[in-house]
């Protein structure tokens, strides 16, 4: 059964939801909301993702408004970012962050990463 697409944030929406510098809060972040029902409902095929891995990082914007939860994917240099509103604890939406496109990171052609 295919999942839903959830709220796939546009580039402009995504960028409006954080204020630099982003702070890596991975080591001490406490979950404000259970993101997994949202994540589990996403249609990975529609997002171009073969599978998901674990949470790799949690970043917080400089104004302490939003957390970005970065989940590893089975696509090389691509992360699924779940944005959580800290003031009104809820999932705002998601975006597939392709590091090759966003930051000019290149590791060759895109390839599926083996799942451990």
Give per-residue pLDDT as tens, 9-37.
999 999 999 899 999 999 999 999 999 99
Are 111 and 101 contacting, i.e. CB atoms less than 8 angstroms apart? no
Q: CA-to-CA distance for 25 and 10, rounded, in angstroms?
A: 24
- Looking at residue 104, what is its pLDDT? 75
The per-residue pLDDT for 113 is: 54
- pLDDT class of 88 with cuts at 50, 70, 90: very high
Looking at 33-88, list the stretches that DSSP marks H as alpha helix, in order from N- to C-terminal side: 36-41, 44-47
- Per-residue pLDDT, averaged over 71-81, amounts to 94
Domain residue spans of the chain = 11-98
Q: pTM value?
A: 0.84
The Cα–Cα gap between 23 and 6 comes to: 26
Residues 68, 42: Cα–Cα separation, whole Å? 17
């Amino acid at each position: 059964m295919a999942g839903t697409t959830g709220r796939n944030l546009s580039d402009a929406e995504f960028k409006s939801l954080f204020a630099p510098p982003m702070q890596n809060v991975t080591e001490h972040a406490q979950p404000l909301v259970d993101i997994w029902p949202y994540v589990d409902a996403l249609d990975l095929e529609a997002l171009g993702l073969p599978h998901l891995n674990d949470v790799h990082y949690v970043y917080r914007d400089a104004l302490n408004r939003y957390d970005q939860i970065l989940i590893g994917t089975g696509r090389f240099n691509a992360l699924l970012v779940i944005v959580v509103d800290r003031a009104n604890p809820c999932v705002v939406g998601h975006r597939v962050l392709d590091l090759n496109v966003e930051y000019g990171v290149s590791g060759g052609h895109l390839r599926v990463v083996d799942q451990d």
